[in-house]
Chain A
Amino acid sequence: MKFAKYLSSETVPEWRAKYLDYRGLKKYLKRISGDPTIEDALYQHSVDVFTRPSIAHWSNRYDGLSTDVMHLNSGEAETILGQLLEHATRPELDFFDKLDREFNKTVDFYASSLVQVGLTGG
């Protein structure tokens, strides 16, 4: 089964708005792949074409060394990701904006639910 379908069939209906918006995120991905060419997009959004390979460079570094990633704390992971995103295209940045929003939404809801059922905080 497609994950989007699985997700919507498994959600608690009343909380639907609080799950990550998988379908919405996929639309943002479409915009990334929908760019005529990455190079064109880079040009349009005035990102330096020649720094682009550095994304590949950085990410490849972590690609082969996933144990390294496992040792990062969340601040470090975020910093590195931030550095990479300096070279990202507009649609890519939009995707991560959206992803951050979805991430904060879910974390907030989860944390507040824990408080509500009296598990933490209260």
Chain B
Amino acid sequence: VNEGVAMQQYDKLKKQLRIHDSRRRGSDDFSITTNSESVLAQIPMTFIRTVTQTKPIAFDNRAAYKRLRKAFMEFYRGLLMLQNYKVLNRTGFAKILKKFDKTAKWKASELYLRKVDLSTLATSTTLDDIKGAVEETFIAHFGDGDRRKALAWLRIPESIRIVSPAALGRFGLTMGIALPLLWESLIHAFQDLPKNSALMQVYAALLIPILLLLLFCLNVYLWHIYRINYKFIFELDPRNHLTYSEFLEVPGWLFALYSLFTYLTFVHPFLEPSIYPAVFCSLVVIALVCPFKVLYHSARLWFLRTLGRIVSSGYHMVQFRDFFIADELSSLVYFIVTIQFMFCSYAHHWDTQGTCDYQHSWLTPTLGMLPALWRLLQCIRRYFENHLVFPHLVNGVKYLLTIITIWMAAVSKITGSDVAFGCWIVFLTLSTLHAYAWDILMDWGLLEKGSSNLLLRSELTYPPWFYYFAVVSNFVLRITWIINMSPNQYGLWLDFRVVAFTLAILEVYRRFQWNLIRMENEHINNCGMFRATKQIPLPYGVDTDEKEVDAGMVSRMTYDSDDE
């Protein structure tokens, strides 16, 4: 078969798929094709029927090749799941009938199983045929000529499901190193308080993202335990992602490194103590962007890519991971703002009395509003995708209120104006109420009408008390700003830095709780639609108007002959 035939068949394929080369700017615009589900579900099937030659097809662009390969892999995963469904149910019927025979003391199992075995559930050979056809086609056109490699790509590795005891052990080890070091450092740090306060503030800020990560791991663990398919929702590669035990290592090592550096700073400073936070940050950044295939390379890449997508919010179709991680970032405002203090301190050689007062700097609201701004841009982008005022613009208002509140706070603190203070309180209240209502109604899907669980929703994954607890505690945690507002004339509240740090920790906890139910709600929505495989957008525009299939379609196999 020569090149010409290959091209011909490829053109035919594109015609079959009703696709035409209309590459648009920015890869994400291709996602518009996801609406035409019926077309996309059949891509691999159409491919198999159309491309009859076994010589690898000459794809006209790399993106087409990659997307089609992805479509095949996802399709194959769907087939595996269906096969697994079939086998599990057949086994279930056999087991329960055996139990019936034993209990009722007469034998019905064989008769009933005969019925099961003659139903589509067991007789249909379609699935195996298709699996074979997909494998062969995949090997021929996407395997780079390597059969074993191609099959390895298709299959889901067993290791992805296994909890790694070694990783858990390493987590234990890191914690064992970290906690005593941190304890010792804290004792020393507090002994020389005024001198250390600036450094302690920096370290306090650095602790927040580590805590968030640690709690996020706990999120992942609980999702895993409650069989909430976060991997699918985050669109993680089903064949290559971290298990929760591996993921746990990330905050584990970070925390160990962090504790080591607090120790070096406060207990045994071989060098100028103030140098250590910078070294720590540099190490973390280097580890994160390290281009070599070490330290969970693909996971780091996923994270960096997500960060990139968030920073450039508005330019992309918004995926779940974009707004979910952006929401995580909005719980890190304290960290973001205090990092500014760290840079300022370095600029002024840690001669910090008054020079780096971030409470009265215009840079603080500018940095502090960034996560909310990104979320706002995402909401606007989604509005432009589908022109739904609700939920997208209403959600956007929430972030707009947050941004206004942040600026009002700054104006009030810097100018000392009473009007600004009043506005601040008003916007803060509005923003809090809006955000809280959104949490309960939209993000968590609670207060469902006609729910069988009072004030919650009918489908619940966690124990009901947890939802009630979350509804109440989320409100309390959302209004903790009251502590910041309250008059301090009795010295009731400690140093504002301690208060700010405590509030930051509470916010991280609130986020943990929010994550749990937010993800669960998303999962329940997926369950409602039995959606377990994703649609792979093509690098072409798809013509959805025409649904007729070319008459001269080449068919290598017929697949509708399975019914007796």
Bound Cα distance A81, B532 (Å): 36
Contacts of B126 in A (CB 8 A): 114, 119-120
Contacts of B559 in A (CB 8 A): 119-120
Q: Is A13 an interface residue (CB 8 A)?
A: yes
Q: Is B268 an interface residue (CB 8 A)?
A: no
Known: A29-B103, A77-B115, A120-B560. A14 touches B85 (CB 8 A): no
A73 to chain B, nearest CB (A): 7
A15: contacting residue among B42, B97, B124, B532, CB under 8 A: B532
Interface segment among B86-94, B152-160, B309-317: the answer is: B86-94
Q: Which 10 A-B pairs have the closest CB atoms?
A: A74-B118, A59-B107, A118-B42, A77-B114, A14-B532, A13-B229, A59-B106, A81-B111, A69-B110, A118-B45
Q: Is A107 an interface residue (CB 8 A)?
A: yes
Contacts of A46 in B (CB 8 A): none
Q: Is B75 an interface residue (CB 8 A)?
A: yes
A-B contact count (CB 8 A): 160
Q: Is B531 an interface residue (CB 8 A)?
A: yes
B530 to chain A, nearest CB (A): 6
Contacts of B92 in A (CB 8 A): 3, 7, 19-20, 22
Which residue of A is nearest B533, CB measured?
A117
B103: contacting residue among A32, A81, A113, A116, CB under 8 A: A32
Taking CB atoms and an 8 Å cut-off, the chain B residues in 91-111 that contact chain A are: 91-93, 95-97, 99-100, 103-108, 110-111
Q: Is B228 an interface residue (CB 8 A)?
A: yes
A104 to chain B, nearest CB (A): 9
Known: A66-B110, A84-B108, A121-B560. A116 touches B41 (CB 8 A): yes
Question: Are the C-beta atoms of B527 and A106 separated by less than 8 Å?
Answer: no
Give chain A's interface residue range (CB within 8 Å of chain B): 35 or more
Contacts of B96 in A (CB 8 A): 20, 22, 25-26, 29, 99
B117 to chain A, nearest CB (A): 8
A68 to chain B, nearest CB (A): 9
Known: A10-B84, A81-B112, A110-B85. A32 touches B130 (CB 8 A): no
Known: A13-B527, A118-B45. A107 touches B120 (CB 8 A): yes
Q: Is B382 an interface residue (CB 8 A)?
A: no
Total chain B interface residues with beta-carbon distance under 8 A: 57
- Beta-carbon contacts of A1-29 to B below 8 Å, as 1s and 0s? 00100011111111111111010011001
Bound Cα distance A26, B116 (Å): 18
* B contact patch SS: helix
Contacts of B75 in A (CB 8 A): 117
Interchain residue pairs with CB less than 8 A apart (27): A3-B92, A13-B227, A13-B527, A14-B229, A14-B531, A15-B530, A16-B227, A18-B85, A33-B103, A59-B106, A69-B110, A72-B114, A77-B111, A77-B114, A77-B115, A80-B111, A103-B116, A106-B85, A110-B89, A110-B124, A111-B120, A113-B82, A114-B120, A117-B75, A118-B45, A119-B45, A120-B560
B111: contacting residue among A17, A32, A62, CB under 8 A: A62
- Beta-carbon contacts of B525-564 to A below 8 Å, as 1s and 0s? 0110111100000000000000000000000000110110
Taking CB atoms and an 8 Å cut-off, the chain A residues in 74-122 that contact chain B are: 74, 77-78, 80-81, 84, 88, 92, 95-96, 99, 103, 106-107, 109-111, 113-114, 116-122
Bound Cα distance A3, B93 (Å): 11
Bound Cα distance A113, B103 (Å): 34
Q: Is B503 an interface residue (CB 8 A)?
A: no
Known: A12-B85, A14-B526. A110 touches B112 (CB 8 A): no
Bound Cα distance A88, B207 (Å): 67
Bound Cα distance A117, B95 (Å): 29
Q: Is A63 an interface residue (CB 8 A)?
A: yes
Q: Is A55 an interface residue (CB 8 A)?
A: yes
Residue in B96, B118, B121 with the greatest tally of chain A CB atoms within 10 Å? B96
Q: Is B472 an interface residue (CB 8 A)?
A: no
Known: A114-B82, A118-B42. A3 touches B91 (CB 8 A): yes
